[in-house]
Amino acid sequence: MSIRLRFAPSPTGRLHVGNVRTALLNWLFAEKQGGRVLLRIDDTDLARSTTEFEQGIEDDLGWLGLRWHERANQSARFDAYERAADKLKSAGLLYPAYETEEELERKRKIAQATGRPPVYDRAALKLSAEERRELESQGRKPHWRFKLSGKRREWLDLVRGPQSIDTASLSDPVLIREDGAFLYTLPSVVDDVDFKITHIVRGEDHVTNSGVQIEIFEALGGPVPQLGHFPLLVGADGGALSKRLGSLSVSDLRAQGYEPMAVLSHLAKIGTSDPVEARLSFKQLAEEFAFEKIGRAPARFDPDELKRVNAAILHQTDYAAVRERLAASGADKGEAFWDAIRANIALLPEVKVWAHIVDGPIEPLVADASFAAAAAEVLPKGAYDATTWSLFANAVKEKTGAKGKALFMPLRQALTGLDHGPEMAALFPLIGETRARKRLMGEAA
């Protein structure tokens, strides 16, 4: 069997980390199983969908390295949805209902007040043809509901194990609105049938929908894909993440300087039995992926943990892999500079801080002017290399008698303006004699 999955975003906003996690789990399974992924743009809501957001989805997936094998837009497939609707109507499974939203709300309140579940009472099925004509003569337009079987629908979920939904506990879902617009459910099933989707992997908020969609699959004569529903994301504190998703868009993370593999590594590992650690390749993430590893508790998205993973990736990244981006930001000081500072950054834009410390001008931090002046007296002349710092430090030690932290901290503070940072043996040659001498003398350089 050819394994086929789909990722189906709506172009009504930017992709956020919740969307990306859904996409990623589909891509990881497809990669591991030799399957294919369809990028399906769910743009039936023509009023809210934009080409700008659609292009943004493609750009974000491309930046993350998630390459789709096929692509489709629902807005180009309305004829297929019409044919499916006609088939369901002919089978007596899609029926017109004329209640207004106010009338439906009143029915729900009455049901709740009398201790009954707020399930649609199927009053529309009792209408005669004459009664329907009378309602339509009053200007009412029907919405179309799918007639559920009332049976219990069961499936073996890829993540949650055995699952069942009693469709008798559900209202017959509206598939087509009064204005003729298709709601999500019918187009999704039609597309999954036509594109031969074998596995549907999505958030657990769709579990109840699955009972409905299984019946629509069967009514249309299509095979029911295997279903997998994973827990949704929460914040690091366990609270809802939904209100903060707008600030966790892929484009924002990219602008902040996060690495694609850091985002993928974090989202692939949270909520699983694997430790949350950096991976340098998508292939490795796919090899380690298994639905059995996904827990039932919500996955915690922690920006601080994401930054830790990002730092781990940068610390392992070679100069060649970042040279173009460093050059574009004006912070390319060569391979020796990158090797010196990469262990001290969590995000690539932080390189600019160390480029400025090397080139200056900075205000040196000189707490003991006499100590700094003595150090300047023994400062080596000429070109510096990896051995210069040790020679210099020993010379200062002999001249001042300082040692340990009392020796190295004031030198670092004077030369960099900071009390922390990369190994001075690597940084010192980049600063050079001229700037080092001025900084030891307390001058901005």
pLDDT for position 248: 86
Please tell me whether residue 33 adopts helix, strand or coil conformation: helix
User: How many other CB atoms are there within 10 angstroms of residue 276's CB atom?
Assistant: 18
Whether residue 361 is preceded by a cis peptide bond, meaning omega within 30 degrees of 0, is: yes
* CB-CB contact of 176 with 85 (8 Å): yes
Residue pLDDT tens, the chain, 445 long: 699 999 999 999 999 999 999 999 999 999 999 999 999 999 999 899 999 999 999 999 999 999 999 999 999 999 999 999 999 999 999 999 999 999 999 999 998 888 888 999 999 999 999 999 999 999 999 999 999 999 999 999 999 999 999 999 999 999 999 999 999 999 999 999 999 999 999 999 999 999 999 999 999 999 999 999 999 998 888 877 755 555 689 999 999 999 999 999 999 999 999 999 999 999 999 999 999 999 999 999 999 999 999 999 999 999 999 999 999 999 999 999 999 999 999 999 999 999 999 999 999 999 999 999 999 999 999 999 999 999 999 999 999 999 999 999 999 999 999 999 999 999 999 999 999 999 999 999 9
pLDDT for position 30: 98
pLDDT for position 122: 95
3-state secondary structure 63-127: HHCCCCCEEEEHHHCHHHHHHHHHHHHHCCCEEEECCCHHHHHHHHHHHHHCCCCCCCCCHHHHC
> What is d(CA 14, CA 65) in angstroms, rounded to the nearest whole number?
17
Host H or E run for residue 175: strand 174-176
Class of domain 369-440: mainly alpha
Threshold 0.85, pTM exceeds: yes
Q: For residue 312, which of 283, 279, 287 has the smallest C-alpha distance? A: 279
pLDDT for position 242: 59
Class of domain 4-72+186-234: alpha beta
Q: Where are the domains of the chain?
A: 4-72+186-234, 80-176, 235-315, 319-359, 369-440
> What is d(CA 303, CA 114) in angstroms, rounded to the nearest whole number?
47
Question: Which amino acid is present at 182?
Answer: F
pLDDT for position 247: 62
Q: Does domain 80-176 have CATH number 3.40.50.10860?
A: no
Q: For residue 184, which of 202, 196, 167 has the smallest C-alpha distance? A: 202
Radius of gyration, CA atoms only, the chain:
31
* CB-CB contact of 18 with 205 (8 Å): no
> Which tokens in the block code for residue 79?
């004829």
* CB-CB contact of 314 with 400 (8 Å): no
Pick the CATH number of 235-315 from 1.25.40.420, 3.40.50.620, 1.10.1160.10, 3.50.80.10: 1.10.1160.10
CA diameter of the chain: 108
